[in-house]
Amino acid sequence: MTGQTFSCNVYVSAGSNIEPVKHLRMACAVLTEVYGPLTTSSVYCNPAVGFVGDDFLNMVVGFSTNASPQSIHDFLKQVNHRAGRPLNGPGYVSRTLDLDLLLYGDRVIESDDVRVPHEDIKNYGFVLGPLAEIAPDLRHPANGHTIAELWDAFDHDRHPLTRLVISPL
């Protein structure tokens, strides 16, 4: 079995409320350059959660890779930083870019750095809604429900989303 690599489907959330179109386009370009073709959700607008700030634009992207979860996590942090986000900045603040590893195949991983499935999937409509758009039949690795089932059961009034029509990212 030496030399074989296995491809894994990966999903990443992307959000911004500082020059969001610019930063989401940059993120998609960089992810495409490194990981190849992306599956992209629509872009959604939603109010800031956890603090008072400008509305966010959010989306989810998917790609297939043989990169490790740790290397993807580290790369996403580098891209966030390249977009102007401090490496260890505060949590609930306006930001140029917020990329998070949501799912790595059907794996459940809990290490110091990497936790998948990401808890934001169940907690925030701006993550779950776009994920349900591009991967409705995918099963959540921890609870077995499809992403569509989770989205149908989600309290949509808690985190209202507005789908935007934005030229292709």
Secondary structure E strands in 6-110: 8-16, 39-40, 43-46, 56-65, 98-104, 109-110
List, by residue number, the catalytic residues.
85, 95, 98, 100
**One-letter amino acid for residue 97 of the chain:** L
Return the number of other C-beta atoms located less than 10 Å from residue 125's C-beta: 21
> What distances in angstroms separate CA 42 from CA 26, 39, 50, one per listed residue?
16, 10, 23
Alpha helices in 49-146 (DSSP H): 69-82, 120-123, 125-134
Length of the chain: 169
